[in-house]
Amino acid sequence: MQVVTIGNRTDEPPKEETREGNYFVSNYPPFSFWKPERAREAIAALDQTPPADTPLGIYVHIPFCRKRCHFCYFKVYTGMDATQIEAYLDAVRKELALYVERPIIGGRKPRFIYFGGGTPSFLSTKQLGGLVDEMKRLLPWDEAEEVTFECEPGTLTEGKLKMLHEIGVTRLSLGIENFNDELLRANGRAHVSKEIDRAYRFSRAAGFPQINIDLIAGMVGETEENWRETVRRAVELAPDSVTIYQMEVPFNTTISKEMRSHGEEVAPVAGWPVKRAWANYGFSEFEAAGYTVTSAYTAVRDPAKAAFVYRNLLWAGADMIGLGVSSFSHVGGTHYQNEHQYETYTDRLINGELPIFRALTPAPLERFVREFILQMKLGSVSRPYFLGKYGVDMNEQFHFELSAIRDQGFLTFDDQGARLNRQGLLQVDRLLHQFFLPEHRNARYA
């Protein structure tokens, strides 16, 4: 997934109930500062030759799903027919073809590929084959260290999994979320638990180097007892990595629309302290089984084998070209986003244009803040790293904020950097807004 963010405000007391609004911080400066009138900055960035040591990655957004989950805020279409899907894939192929002619590629080959959604596994093997063959022809994957592919368990067949393995997927990510059929149904998921077991068995048999599973702590109807059972079954599967999200109820989801229609302000899910406790329980159980927590959301069985190249490179300033409707890119120091409607996205490609909708080129201090914020989500940040890369002393720049978070008991810092403790890590997204520059606080994020 490419995550869109909004956020709670730091100058307000923490809202401990779950309310409507996005919480997860995925990028900086906030998206509301990216402007259509600055789209030409993206074009200019594509005409530069890249610094030799900047890694390149490709993100591909596949916006199709069997059903829209009640909590989902991603750009998703349900009910599109094969002709519409083929037209979309054709647009994605055209988009990549426009990029490979640009100086910014500079002879680089992608170090990571990420198929996110929506549901990439919604595609048939034929659709997938047509897309991947052309992608590889245009920009070979032979130097890719990681190819991630997001899957909804009910869309997987043995044949599709074999094909995913053959085309070079190294990290298969399964959106399991929960094992309880009643809960899955109540949250609008298309899959049931029987499909999880099947999909997992076939995925293991196909031989992927890394299988990740996603869980959500605090879905509608979740209870302490059921969450413990979900964690028990997840540990039993022995995935190579697990991602535990805490349920948020973003704007424009089915749940938030329901809330509005009933005039309710508090979402029908557990409050943040309970969700944190559940996520903590999940991580502790995985730790007891030998896993290592490597970010606010992730635990891995063997850190040497389950690096998350996409996250690590992106959060350290890599270039990433985002293909597809509403995709986000970060290239040559400029952020931009594609057109966010199917029709406008495909129309612009039919006309031979890059479908760039809005852009922003952050100033050096904003680039520092972005990287600092993203790396905080890994649990620690290095002062020498930021001094060397940006010439900014994080302890001076953020003395007030780091001290405040330390005084709340969530963090320690010294001349080497800052480290969040587990309680701090579990609520890092709420804490991060304090590091925004003043002009970006209290701004709408999306």
Task: Please report whether residue 357 would count as binding ligand SAM according to CB under 6 A.
Answer: no
Shortest Å distance, C-beta 76 to ligand SF4: 5
Residues 15-44: x where in contact with ligand SAM by CB under 6 A, - otherwise, as a string: ------------------------------
Shortest Å distance, C-beta 227 to ligand SF4: 19
Q: Please, which of residues 196-225 interact with ligand SAM by CB under 6 A? A: 214, 216
Say if CB 242 and CB 215 are below 8 A apart.
Answer: yes
Distance of CA 8 to the CA centre of its chain: 19
Residues that bind ligand SF4 (CB under 6 A): 65, 68-69, 72, 74, 76, 117-119, 152, 175
Coil, helix or strand for 300?
strand
Out of ligand SF4, ligand SAM, none, what residue 50 binds, judged by CB under 5 to 8 A for its kind, is none
* φ, ψ dihedrals at 373, nearest 5°: -60, -45
Shortest Å distance, C-beta 298 to ligand SAM: 12
Q: Which is nearer to ligand SAM, 72 or 163 (CB)?
A: 72
Say if CB 78 and CB 65 are below 8 A apart.
Answer: yes
Q: Which is nearer to ligand SAM, 118 or 355 (CB)?
A: 118
Shortest Å distance, C-beta 445 to ligand SAM: 15
* Position among 20, 41, 146, 150 found at the interface with ligand SAM (CB under 6 A): 150
Quickly count: other Cβ atoms within 10 Å of residue 165's Cβ: 18
Shortest Å distance, C-beta 173 to ligand SF4: 11
Out of ligand SAM, ligand SF4, none, what residue 183 binds, judged by CB under 5 to 8 A for its kind, is none
Among candidate residues 310, 309, 347, the one with its CA nearest the CA of residue 328: 310
Among candidate residues 412, 22, 90, 12, the one with its CA nearest the CA of residue 245: 22
Say if CB 8 and CB 14 are below 8 A apart.
Answer: yes
Query: What string of H, E and C letters represents the secondary structure of 314-379?
Result: HCCCCEEEEECCCCEEEECCEEEEECCCHHHHHHHHHCCCCCEEEEECCCHHHHHHHHHHHHHCCC
Q: Say how far apart CA 96 and CA 60 lie, in whole Å.
A: 10
The residue nearest ligand SAM at its CB is: 175
Stretch that binds ligand SAM, among 69-77, 138-146, 268-276, 379-387 (CB under 6 A): 69-77
Out of ligand SF4, ligand SAM, none, what residue 247 binds, judged by CB under 5 to 8 A for its kind, is ligand SAM
